[in-house]
Every structure is written in structure tokens, then in C-alpha cells.
Amino acid sequence: MHTYHLLEILAIGFGLALLFGYMARRVGLSPIVGYLAAGFLIGPNMPGFVADSDLTNNLAEVGIILLMFGVGLHFHMEDLLEVKGVAIPGAIVQCLAATLCGIAAAMALGYSFVEGLILGLGLSVASTVVLLRVLTDSGKLDTIHGTVAVGWLVVEDIFTVLMLVLLPAVGPSLAAGTGLSMTMLLWSVSLAIAKLAMLWGLVIVVGGRLMPWLLKKIVQTRSQELFTLTVLAAAFLTAVTAAYIFNASFALGAFLGGMVVGKSHVSHQAGAELIPLRDAFAVLFFLSVGMLFNPAFLLERPGVVLISFLIVILIKPLATVLIVAVLGYSVTTAFTVAASLAQVGEFSFILAQTGYSLGLISQDIYSVLIVCAMVSIAANPFFMNHVPAAEAWAKGNSWLWHLLNYRTAANTEKIKEICEQDVQECNSEAPRAVIAGYGPAGKKAVSILEKYGLEPVIVDMNINTVSELHHQGKLAIYGDVSREEVLKAAGIEKALCFVITIPDAAGAAAASVAAKNSNPRMEIFARTRFFYDGELLRQSGTDCIVFEEEAVANELAETIARHLEQRPKETPKPSENTSVLQKL
């Protein structure tokens, strides 16, 4: 039998991944679906070219390391702390609900408790790649709904990392069927936590001091190759150290290494250098996962596939909607977060791969996760696009709408009354300005307005942001800036200017129309991403528009100009033609 080597696997694997990834993208699906399909075609369950699964799995480990290093590189605790009140309890409850349902379903269908545990854990975790792509495509990444979803997923990622630490510690006993006593379980958990703490201290504390110094020295050499090599060395050394010294996973070590590099001043360049390699080897990871898919078991075990998929698209979203509503967020936020998390992705594969390598699960469980991932990733954009329809349906059911809005309405009204009273009773004689949104652009606008003697009133859809601003002594109210009554509560009728910092052009246009209806003489400033949105904003009454495309181009040109002006000026040598002219 012919043995396929590395170059053949790379050539045929990348070629098929490109073809099927392109086809998936053309029909509106995630390219990941195409990569999984390509892996299935070169797997042992299909005739023709069959890749070496052991070699492909080794290449997939590289993809996992680079993928997790990239996650750690862009991980910031501030993202989690901003929405910790909903993200932490929400992610825990949702993961617990999905895991318990997975255990119950697996055991009812004849699988072991351990297989049900890993199946449930795998179904409970969503894909970072898919979530960010869907939120970006729908324009919701920079909204409160997107912030909650991303923070929620960060908690899920941390939870999964802890599971990846515990599985190697308790896996051998579970695989051997000897069971775990309470004493042994506590010892395993304590040992795993101690090793994790030691690994955290070594990588974050020691590496956090050594790596910035090393990267600075490497950058000073002006060698792009050495810089790229340093980033790769950091990723693989931390991954191998975690696996062979602390019995943790490659994924965890790479994640911590990424966090260390992410704290340096060259983190953005490190990410730019890593992306091409990460994407290439991530494709191999999905290929290796697709190779393990065995379609024959679908005829033998259709029940576990159907129930698992229902857990992903029904149980997870339902738990998400309920916990977000109970914690006092809007129905729009609840439905958006639920839709974005109704999928299974790369972390589930990593969990399944760890369980499979430890002998804890059968190939059936692996295949169930792969099927659920392929279908849920393909359907996720459809779920996100139908969030407005789901919200309209909920509004049509008065009892359901009252149930979902009970805590939100109570919290909102309480904070609105306090904040609106402060706004109306403000005795400042300074001219007023209304700011829509309190993201980075909104914060900058507030500081500029205060500098020039205007009293800013902030309108934001994040009730926690409004509450925090109130405690800081700033004038802020909760509400939708496209509603005239909200703008009137902010004092739009007495405002000299209205600054719209929300990135959604349609929302900004609606806010501009509402503001002009209340105060036609007021000047309106707005931002938008693209030039083609300018006409919509101008027709809505916006006076000054800042285009992000133009701002980035201008900033880049000014940066280049400053850099060139600071260069030492050299006296150019006269050309041969100049010398001839001088002689004449």
C-alpha cells in the first residue's frame, strides 16, 4: 500500500480545503464546513486518497497550538469585567444545562456517564471564530449585544481550559474503569489546580517579565525572520512545557503564552505575523477532524445525533435567553446572544480530541460532535438573521414578552427615573450636548466637549454603563437614541449639538431624524464606516459626517509623512545628466 508523506498530504489537503471552502463560502456557509467536508473525503471512510491520520493529527496539533496562542494573544480581562454580571453566571448556567442534557441523552441511549459528560461539555461550548464572524457580518460586534456574547464566550473558554487541565489528571483512572473515590477526585483536582497555578506563575509572572525584554531586543535587530521565529518559539515552548512538565494540554500552554506576548507593545505585530500560519494549520486541524467522521453510524445511532443537535439549537438558546432576561438585559440582547452561541466549534473538537486520545470516548461521540458542528455552523448565520423576527414574535405574545422583560423593565425604570431626574435638575449653566453611545469614540467626544465648556449628556443602551456613569457623577440616561421621547429626556431641545458615535448607519440616521424633529437648529455630528452611507446620513439631517475609511487613510498618510520628515535628510548625489548640464 502506498504511503502518503507530508508533502502529498499538504498538497491534496490544502487543495481540497481550498475548493470546498470556496464552495461553502459561495453558498453563504462558513469555510469551516468546507474544510470538514474535505477532511472527510481524504479520511479512511472514503475510497481513493487516504491521508496518514497520525501525521495529519500531528499537524493538527500545530493548528491547535497556533489557534490557542492567537486566542490568548487577544484575550483581555477588561472584556470580561465589562459584562461580568451577566457573562459569568450566564455561561456557567448554560454550560451546566447543556452538559446535564448531554449526560442524560447519552446514558439513555446506552453510552457511559463519562462519554455523556464529554459530549455535554462539547455541546455546551461555542466557536470563537464563528461567533466573531457572525457578529461582524451582522454589524453587532460593537454593540452591547455583541459585548455580552463575546464576554460570555470568554467565560466558556476559561471553563473549557479548566476541563482540559482536569481531563489528563482524572482520565487514566476513568479510562481504566477503576472509578474515582471522593478522596482521589479531590486529590486529582487539587493537584491539577496546583500544577495550573505553577504553570500560570511560570508563564505569566516569569514570562511576563522576560518576554517583553526579549521581544524588545529582537525588534531592535530589525529582522523580520527573528521576530516571527520568536513568536513561534514562545507558542511552542509554552505548549510543550505545559504538556510534558505540568501534564496540562498543548492548548492551555499556548493560550498562556499568547497572553504573555499579548501584554507586550508588539502584540499587534505578533498577531499579524501569526495569522497566516495559524490559519493554514487551523485548516489542517479541521481536516483531521473531518477525517474521523464515520457516516455509517448515522444509520445505527440517529437518535443521539438528533438529540445532540436539539441541545445545541434549543436547550442552549433557551437557557441563554432565560438567564439574560433574569439578569435584567433586553430581549434583543437575549436573542442575539442566544443565536450567536447556538453552534459548536473548535473548542469542542479539542475537548473531544483530548477525550478520544485518553480513551474516554468512542469514535461515535466524536462523530456526533462533528455532525453537530457542521450543521450548527452552517445554520448559525440563519439564526442571527432571524433575531428581529423572533423578537417580533415574542412581542406578539404578551405573557411571554412580559415574562422576558419583567426584570429589565423594573431595573430600567428605576435607573431611568434617577438618571432622568438628575438630567432635568442639572443646574449647570453650561450649554448642553447629547452623546449617543459611550464606547471609545463616545468617551473621546465627552472629553472634548467638556474641554470646550459643554455639559455632555450620554445616552446608551447598556444599562450597566448608564448606572456606572451615574455613580461617577456624569449625566446619562438609558434608551434608544432613535426615540424622540428618549432624546427629550436627555434635553435634546436645549442642546447645541448632538454627537452620534454608534457605528450602525441606519441607527444613526434614525437618531438624526428624531433629533432634528425636536431641535432643527442643532448641529449633528455622526460617524459611519463607509462612504456609501454618507447620502443616507445627509438626507436624515446630519451636518458633519466622519467616515472611518477616510479617517484611517488620513491617519496613515500623516503617520507616513511624520516618519519621512523625521528621517535625516541626505544630500542627493548629482546624476550624470546634471553633471553634463553643469559643464555646459
Quick check: 299 pLDDT over 70?
yes
- Mean pLDDT (the chain) is 78
Cβ within 8 Å of residue 351, ≥6 positions away: 118, 121, 122, 125, 160, 163, 164, 167
Q: Is the pLDDT of residue 577 over 50?
A: no
The larger pLDDT score, comparing residue 227 to residue 137, is at: 227
Average of per-residue pLDDT across 182-197 = 72
**Mean pLDDT, residues 87-102:** 89
Contact (CB, 8 A) for 270 and 258: no
pLDDT tens, residue by residue, 322-338: 888 888 777 888 888 89
HSE toward the beta carbon, residue 507, CA cutoff 13 A: 19
Pairing of strands 455-460, 432-436: parallel
| Lowest mean per-residue pLDDT among 92-101, 268-277, 399-408, 510-519 | 268-277
Q: State pLDDT tens for residues 395-417.
A: 888 888 878 877 766 666 665 66
Residue 2 has pLDDT above 70, yes or no: no
| Strand bridging mode 475-478 / 495-500 | unpaired
Q: What is the mean pLDDT of residues 199-204?
A: 77
pLDDT band at residue 461 under the 50/70/90 scheme: confident
Instruction: Give the residue, 359 or 266, on which the prediction is more confident.
Output: 359
Average pLDDT over residues 507-524: 87
Query: So what's the pLDDT on residue 101?
Result: 92
* Whole-number pLDDT of residue 69: 78
C-alpha–C-alpha distance, residues 49 and 294, integer Å: 16
Q: All 3 cell numbers of residue 136?
A: 461582524
* Per-residue pLDDT, 3: 52
Q: Per-residue pLDDT for 568 more than 80? A: no
Question: 132 or 454, which is more confident?
Answer: 454
Strand intervals (E) in 320-454 = 432-436
Q: Supply the pLDDT for residue 579.
A: 41
Average pLDDT over residues 362-371: 83
Band (pLDDT 50/70/90 cuts) for residue 76 is low
Pick the more confident residue, 275 or 90: 90
pLDDT at 247: 65
For residues 59 and 288, give the distance between their C-alpha atoms in angstroms, rounded to a whole number.
9
Residue 307: which pLDDT band, with cuts at 50, 70 and 90? Answer: very high
SS (H, E, C) 457-505: EEEECCHHHHHHHHHCCCEEEECCCCCHHHHHHCCHHHEEEEEECCCCH
Q: Is the pLDDT assigned to residue 311 strictly greater than 90?
A: yes
Task: Work out the pLDDT band at 318, boundaries 50, 70, 90.
Answer: very high
pLDDT score, position 23: 92
Q: In what order do the strands lie in the sheet with 475-478?
A: 475-478, 455-460, 432-436, 495-500, 523-528, 544-547
Q: Please give the Cα distance from 215 to 548 (Å, whole number).
A: 32
Residue 312: its pLDDT value, please? Answer: 92
- Measure Cα distances from 48 to 20, 36, 56 in Å: 17, 17, 17
pLDDT at residue number 181: 64
Threshold 0.75, pTM exceeds: no
374: pLDDT confidence band, cut at 50, 70 and 90?
Answer: confident
**Would the pLDDT of 446 be above 80?**
yes
Q: Which of 539, 478, 484 is nearest to 515 (CA)?
A: 484
In degrees to the nearest 10, what's the CA dihedral of 100, 320, 285, 54?
0
Query: Pseudo-torsion of CA 113, 118, 122, 124, nearest 10°?
Result: 50
What pLDDT is recorded for position 565?
A: 77
Answer yes or no: is pLDDT of 1 > 50. Answer: no
pLDDT computed for residue 316 by the predictor: 92
pLDDT at 576: 46
pLDDT surpasses 80 at 464:
no
Indicate the pLDDT class of residue 240, thresholds 50, 70 and 90. Answer: confident
Residue 580's pLDDT band (boundaries 50, 70, 90)?
Answer: very low
